Structure 1
Amino acid sequence: MQLLRSIVFSLLAATSVAVPRGDDSRHQAIQPRSANAKYALKEPPLTTPWTDKVGTDPWPEYPRPQMQRSQWQNLNGIWQYRNASSLAEAQNPPFGQDLGQEVLIPSCLESGISGIQGNYHLYSWFSNSFKVPANWNGQQILLNFGAVDYEATVFVNGKQAGFNRGGYFRFTVDVTQFVKPGQQNELLVFVHDPTDSEDYVIPIGKQTHHPSHIFYTPCSGIWQTVWLEAAPANYITQLDLDANMNGQVNVTVHTSAANTTTNVQVIVHDNGDVVATHRGPSNQPFQFNVESPKLWSPDSPKLYNVTVKMGKDQVQSYTGFRTISKGTVNGVVRPLLNGEFIFMFGTLDQGFWPDGIYLPPTKEAMVYDLKMLKNLGFNTVRKHIKVEPQLFYQACDELGLLVIQDMPSLRPLQSRRLSDCTTQTILPDAAQQVEFGRQLEVLVNQHKSFPSIATWVVYNEGWGQITSYYPEFELTDRVKQLDPTRLVDSTTGWFDHGAGDFSDNHHYANPQCGSPFYSTDSSPYDDTRIGLQGEFGGLGNNVSIEHLWNVQAAINTINQTYELDQTIEIWNYRSHIMLAELEDQVKRFSCSGGIWTQTTDVEGEVNGLMTYDRRLARVDEAQWKADIQALYDAAAARGNATMSTH
């Protein structure tokens, strides 16, 4: 197999948003006890250019960019780890004990970066210790987790302090009553991550204990940043910001004293200059206006810094002025950005890494993928049945990439064998469906202030979607009630019963976008909704072993790729044909956007713009830029007309 030449991209510089850096005591915060097995990076089946840059001080950036406090300590670094045997162990915590192994936090236990790189981590213990700075005395001490997969029980100094369920979402534990000022405090976390074991039906996306082709190595444990911060007795718990094209800023400041109302001050800055100041009540929505704002778009991703003050609490945030809607243009229902038809073209972005699995090795690595897409001319990224660290969405805000955000799927495409020897598709029961709906709400509430997010996706290709009735209608209504400022793609591909804003077709390899033809595994175009090619392409090109996930079971599935092109030249030729066909459908029919599969290879899939290690780019850069621009030009020719908004 030939070794393909690498194409080096010129990367775009992101527009930065001023953020507080925190105090300098973060290194003193972590004082782990001695463990028998010292931390060492394990060699994964494939590395990236950033694998060796991880070190033992990973992800030092403030992890919650839209609600930042100045007094904080990053607890990332070397912790202790021990495997547990059952859920019952949570009732007998190993307080004051050496857990035996060192592990890097944040990380997936299945990754080389973790120093563990194991399998079937159903139950796990993690421990560390921290000391609270003296100048935090008298304040609330908040312990934050970016994400723990899947259930986390948190203990501080021998007492249970909190519990969280959901592997993709941040949570905060107020540990004030458990902390000993001026002393080392023991932090112990029990994690239960069933993934797709036994009868568990939970949001897992593409994680599986049995990786094969389009389903991948799972992620267990504390896989996003852990940090402490100080706040007053009544503190801000969530900040909802939406700024539209007319200059209206919609704000809700949620607080720990949820049943009281406190005066809140919001200050909007543009390059250090105050452009608006407004006061309103906490725990209630309020609005104010900014005159003649510069609008956010992929072509001009303008952001404004925002300061929110409430009593003794103060947080830093940012927003972008833009309006996402739909309307009829020349008789076709279209997605609109700031009142104009925008052709949304992006990639299926899986967010997997050979060295970190679910977590990129560094922020630089994560942003590299996004800059590559932006450089080629993509204006959209579909975050595929996964939720990223919040710094990912900040990078999309800064670069100008619209985000189609999927809800992670429930246990996709699996079946169980019944006692009568028949098989049954695994779907959620009533309680599991309720939990899916709850976590969908958490997804929306935690991410609805990022300007780049344009669309929420409820179901992907029927995975975990009940078909005896149509839950997508109720879930779509719920999402729109939580966030009326965005579009909802209720079912991307497969079982479309008419819910939501999109008529979304998946077809490999060629597109069927807003067209009068379709395949039986999808649905016909519904002209009352936006025509979207939610997935297409998937063209494969095998590479030499140094760029492959070096696991034989994965290599054995490469021939399951939709189409394999024998040379890089043929891969680009076939890509050009697919993009030209999509362009023709934009000109002739009602196509309003497309999602190319995919950003990178993943394990046994070799259909990425780049290989899994990000060292080899398949794309002919000039050709791809021209083909993508042709899509935008074709859409513009269809969109220069009067319109009516919906």
Structure 2
Amino acid sequence: IDPTWGGGYGIKAYKNRYWMTYIGGDTKGYEQGVLKIGLASTDQAVGQAHTWKTTSKPILTPMDKDRGWWENLTLYKSSVLWDSTQTLGKPFVMFYNAGGVNPTTKVKGERVGIALSDNMKRWTRYPGNPILNHEGGITGDAVVQRMGDLWVMFYFSAFRPGVIHNAFNTFCCSYDLINWTDWTGEPLIFPSEPYDNQFAHKSSVIYHEGVVYHFYCAVNKDDQRGIALATSTSMGRSTLRFPQPDTPTSVRVDSLLTNGWQSWLERDTVSSQTAIGQAEAIEALPKAGWQSVRLPHNWDTYHGARRLRHGNLHGTAWYKRSLDTPANLSGKRCLLYFEGVGSYATVFVNGRQVGHHRGGRTTFTLDITDALRPSGSNALLVKAEHPAFITDLPWVCGGCSGESGFSEGSQPLGIHRPVHLILADEARVLPFGVHLWNEAGSIKTDGASTQVRTTVHSDSKAPRQLELVSRLVDAFNVQRARAVDTFTLQPGQTRTLPQVLELKTAPERWSTDKPYLYTLITLIKENGKVIDEVKTPYGFRTVRWPNPNGTGDGRFYLNEQPLFINGICEYEHQLGNSHAFTAEQIASRIDQCKAAGFNAFREAHQPHNLRYTQALDKDGLLQWSQLSAHIWYDTPAFREQFLASLEEWIVERRNSPSIVMWGLQNESSLPAAFAATCTEL
């Protein structure tokens, strides 16, 4: 293929034939067994599929007498450069990657080397191989192009020590095809999108009519694979999407309830809290006039923009859909996990009230198993209320608090965040039941001691003899620490089990430059069989601010290094669908903040969708999370609900490495004694 950058990229014939190298082996499966490099050619048009003629023997194998130590296990992908200038004395230069163990360091990895030929049939290895080596992980799939007097090699790396990305595309440059200088900036392509969040690798890059087209293999965390494209100039968006992944076969099944909802809005300007849960309200619901909606959904599309007396839309929103009873419920519990319903939620299954929640910015989970029919369809009904003159929640609209027209912090009306149907064992980890942290001084240069608390519950009718396994794995899914304990759960019992994870080597630190995340895999086992599994991301980092010991140093320290905080405050609003954001919209907002140069993010002024925190953890922005009391009602009901919401807010976010501050108020003053109670909690 023509290697000229910006050239025609045409396939050239040598001796009236077209040539290809390829890998193959005698074992079925993807890259299984010992692989060798073969050669094939054709004199037919390559634009039409047909069988090429192969040679009788491979042209390179890991058993050849002249093989190097770096290729003594197997050979991988190859690409051939036709160098008309014969930089290395031969016209054909094959770049190929191979697996081998370094005899000095004992490190196993994939590295890139070259072989030379003057006729495409007989190849000689370069004696100075490998020419590109990162000593660990994968370096491979090189494709070389010519930019003026410079050679540029596009390649991918994976599982490279010290790099947070599983697999990514990058490049290096050379004047002589032997000595290569790596690009040390951000990778050209790395896992960042829902379709490539597992691997983004294997480059094919062309420059055409002023635009760089970077084609690559995209693999998501559902192990779906496709060809993705990145361009140097915006070319719009592809309408092609991966199909909905198969329902996971894990012991805990989590399904989003996005479609199939109908909603009806009952507008009012006075409190309807007295009607919560009353059967009469359900009987009075209309039979017609319901609107088909998709979750997340919010009836308040940012009502405050109208600058009316009430900065919020007040009323009661009803949502309904059918829900099939899961098959094989024996020994299982069926749970509804609501990420956010504003501002009061009451949930009914088959006309039976199964739960109620106050506060639209924190999550709640309800066990609906006993309300389900043995089989078939069930009626799910959710009542979402945001009445006027709320006095037990910390953020209300101006028309309800003497600030007419005030709309800052508009509150949602509806199921404004996703809803999940979860099928789990009767003995299971409770929602947000895994807590891990590091005490001061526990992260050291030779390891770390990490505290873990796991809260479990049983709905079984008999005692259960169980095993709790906590596995901490790194970004490459390699286990770094493990703890195992046996325990007994009595019927209806809830227990919090302590463990300590001991890392034998210094953990990678989470920082704004390198937001490295580990994953804690929590398993509950019975008789050797896993019956529940929960995964919790975690980052190791230390925070110090202000500097103690009376030094007067007011700087912020992250991992014992001073860091200038350049932050932005963001409201969870957008005209038209305020609060009801998709995961893609949230990721886009954080991407905008990071692209603008900010390294810190403040929630204004209530807990945002948890996907904000997940994105901040992943992208390396510090977070100031808030549950602010903009309006303070000095009543027992307000104090009680504020503490309840505060506990939910912290438990949901307590494992996040990005959170360095918790905010209790905004433009208001909590009584000092109550603020101290909140801080202690």
2:431 is the counterpart of 1:227: no
Distance in 2 (CA, whole Å) between partners of 1:285 and 1:334 is 35
Q: Distance in 2 between matches of 1:220 and 1:22?
A: 37
TM-score of the two chains, using structure 2 as the length reference? 0.54
With CA pairs under 8 Å and 6+ residues apart, which has the higher RCO, 1 or 2?
A: 1
Preserved CA contact (<8 Å) 1:75 1:226: yes
Query: What residue is the counterpart of 1:94 in the other structure?
Result: 282
Aligned to 1:318: 537
Structure 1: distance between partners of 2:190 and 2:665? 33
CA apart distance, 1:228? 0.5
Partner of 2:599: 379
Which of 354, 357, 365 matches 1:164? 357
Q: Residues 454-533 of structure 1: matches in 2 within 5 Å?
A: 454-462=660-668, 465-467=669-671, 470-478=673-681
In the alignment, the residues of structure 1 paired with residue 422 and residue 255 of structure 2 have an alpha-carbon distance, to the nearest angstrom, of 6
Greater alpha carbon shift after TM alignment, 209-218 vs 469-478: 209-218
Q: Does 1:408 align with 2:614?
A: no
Q: Distance in 2 between matches of 1:286 and 1:266?
A: 8
Larger Rg: 2
Structure 2 unpaired stretches of 5+: 1-187, 200-219, 225-233, 304-310, 488-494, 526-530
Give the match for residue 300 of structure 2: 110
Deviations 1:190-246 (A, max 9, x none): 22223xx23624122778778746626431111111110111111111211225643
**Distance in 1 of aligned mates of 2:646 and 2:464:** 27
Q: CA deviation at 1:257?
A: 3.8
Aligned-partner residue type, residue 484 of structure 2: R
Which whole-Å CA distance do the structure 2 matches of 1:379 and 1:61 have between them? 34
2:394 equivalent among 192, 196, 203 = 203
Distance 1:387 1:319 in 2: 20
Do structure 1's residue 275 and structure 2's residue 480 form an aligned pair? yes
- Aligned ranges for residues 60-75 of structure 1 at < 5 Å? 70-75=252-257
Q: Is the 8 A contact 1:110 1:220 kept in 2?
A: yes
Please say if residues 211 and 217 of structure 1, whose CA atoms lie closer than 8 Å, have aligned partners that are also in contact: no
**Compared CA separation, residues 434 and 363, structure 1 to 2 (3 A):** same
- Counterpart amino acid of 1:309? L
CA distance in structure 2 between the aligned counterparts of 1:240 and 1:260, rounded to whole angstroms: 23
Letter paired with 2:294 = L
Q: SS where residue 365 of structure 1 aligns?
A: helix
1:242 aligns with 2:437: yes
Partner amino acid, structure 2, of 1:240: H
- Find the residue that maps to 1:284 and give its secondary structure: strand
Amino acid at match of 1:106: P
Instruction: Tell me the distance in 1 between the aligned counterparts of 2:398 and 2:245.
Output: 27
**C-alpha separation in 1, matches of 2:411 and 2:571:** 13
Comparing 10-19 with 288-297, which one deviates more in the overlay?
10-19
Aligned pairs for 1:40-439 (under 5 A) are: 70-84=252-266, 86=272, 87-88=274-275, 90-92=277-279, 93-94=281-282, 98=287, 100-102=289-291, 103-111=293-301, 120-194=313-387, 197-198=388-389, 200-204=391-395, 212=405, 215=408, 217-237=410-430, 238-243=433-438, 245-246=443-444, 247-257=448-458, 262-270=466-474, 271-280=476-485, 283-290=496-503, 291-311=505-525, 312-326=531-545, 327-328=547-548, 330-360=551-581, 362-411=582-631, 427-439=633-645
Counterpart residue type for residue 71 of structure 1: V
Separation in 2, partners of 1:255, 1:333: 42
Q: CA deviation at 1:17?
A: 7.1
* 1:269-294 residue CA offsets vs partner (Å, 9 max, x unmatched): 22022222212466133222222211
How far apart, in 2, do the equivalents of 1:223 and 1:383 lie? 17
Question: Is contact 1:396-1:452 (8 Å) kept?
Answer: yes
Query: In the superposition, relative to structure 1, how do residues 201 and 164 fare at CA in structure 2: closer, same or farther (>3 Å)?
Result: closer
**Over residues 420-470 of structure 1, what are the superposed CA-to-partner deviations in whole Å (9 max), with x where a residue is unaligned?**
xxxxxx6332321232122112211111111111110111121xx345x54
- Sequence identity percentage: 24
SS of the equivalent of 1:81 reads strand
Do the aligned partners of 2:628 and 2:663 also contact (CA within 8 Å) in 1?
A: no
Q: Does the C-alpha gap of structure 1 residues 217 and 472 become closer, same or farther in structure 2, counting only changes over 3 Å?
A: closer
Secondary structure of the 2:297 match is: coil
Distance 1:228 1:293, change over 3 A: same
Give the counterpart letter for 1:318 in structure 2: P
Q: Report SS of the residue matched to 2:679.
A: helix
Contact 2:452–2:498 (Cα < 8 Å) also in 1: yes
Deviation at 1:97, TM superposition (A): 6.9
Please give the alpha-carbon distance, in whole angstroms, between the structure 1 residues aligned to 2:364 and 2:238: 28
CA RMSD of superposed structures (Å): 3.8
Q: 1:157 to 1:168 in 2, by over 3 A?
A: same
- Deviation of 1:61 after TM superposition, in Å, equals 11
CA contact (8 A) 1:208 1:217 kept: no
Match of 1:442 among 625, 637, 648: 648
Aligned residue for 2:588, secondary structure, equals helix
Q: Distance in 2 between matches of 1:160 and 1:61?
A: 33
In 1, distance between residues paired with 2:245 and 2:628?
A: 25
Q: Which moved more, 1:246-255 or 1:221-230?
A: 246-255
- Deviation for aligned residue 1:156: 0.7
Matches within 5 A, 1:29-44: none
Do the aligned partners of residues 69 and 373 (structure 1) sit closer, same or farther apart at CA in structure 2, a change above 3 Å counting?
farther
**Paired amino acid for 1:122:** G
Cα deviations by residue, 1:460-481 (Å, 9 ceiling, x for unpaired): 121xx345x5422222222xxx
Q: Determine the C-alpha separation between the residues in 2 that align with 1:234 and 1:397.
A: 30
TM-score under structure 1 length normalisation = 0.57
- Tell me if structure 2 keeps the 8 A contact 1:241–1:449: yes
Contact preservation (8 Å) 1:82, 1:126? yes
Structure 1 stretch displaced more, 396-405 or 248-257: 248-257
Indicate how the Cα distance of structure 1 residues 274 and 198 shifts in structure 2: closer, same or farther if over 3 A, else same. Answer: closer
Q: Is the 8 A contact 1:153 1:162 kept in 2?
A: yes
1:262 to partner: Cα distance: 5.0
- 1:119 and 1:338 mapped to 2: Cα distance? 42
Residues 89, 313 of structure 1: alpha-carbon distance in 2 compared, 3 angstrom cutoff: closer
Q: Deviations over 1:578-601 (max 9, x none)?
A: xxxxxxxxxxxxxxxxxxxxxxxx
Shift of residue 148, structure 1, vs aligned partner: 0.9
Residue 129 of structure 1: CA displacement?
1.0
Compared CA separation, residues 208 and 71, structure 1 to 2 (3 A): farther
For the 8 Å contact 1:142–1:176, the answer to whether it is kept is: yes
Query: Which string of whole-angstrom CA distances, capped at 9 and with x for unpartnered residues, describes residues 57-116 of structure 1?
Result: 9xx999xxxxx9751221112412233464426312537974631233221111299xxx
Relative distance call for 1:81 and 1:409 in structure 2 (3 A) is: same
3-state SS of paired residue (1:344): coil
Letter in 1 for 2:524: M
User: Gaps (5+ residues) in structure 1?
Assistant: 1-9, 24-48, 63-67, 412-425, 479-646
* SS of the residue 1:446 aligns to: helix
- Deviation at 1:159? 1.1
Q: Which amino acid aligns with 1:472?
A: A
Contact 1:152–1:165 (8 Å) recurs in 2: yes
Per-residue deviation, 1:21: 5.6
CA distance change for structure 1 residues 21 and 200 in 2, over 3 Å: closer, same or farther? Answer: farther
Does the CA-based 8 Å contact 2:392-2:637 persist in structure 1?
no
Distance apart, 1:349 and its partner CA:
1.4
Comparing both structures, which one devotes a greater share of its residues to strand?
2
> How far apart, in 2, do the equivalents of 1:149 and 1:255 lie?
28
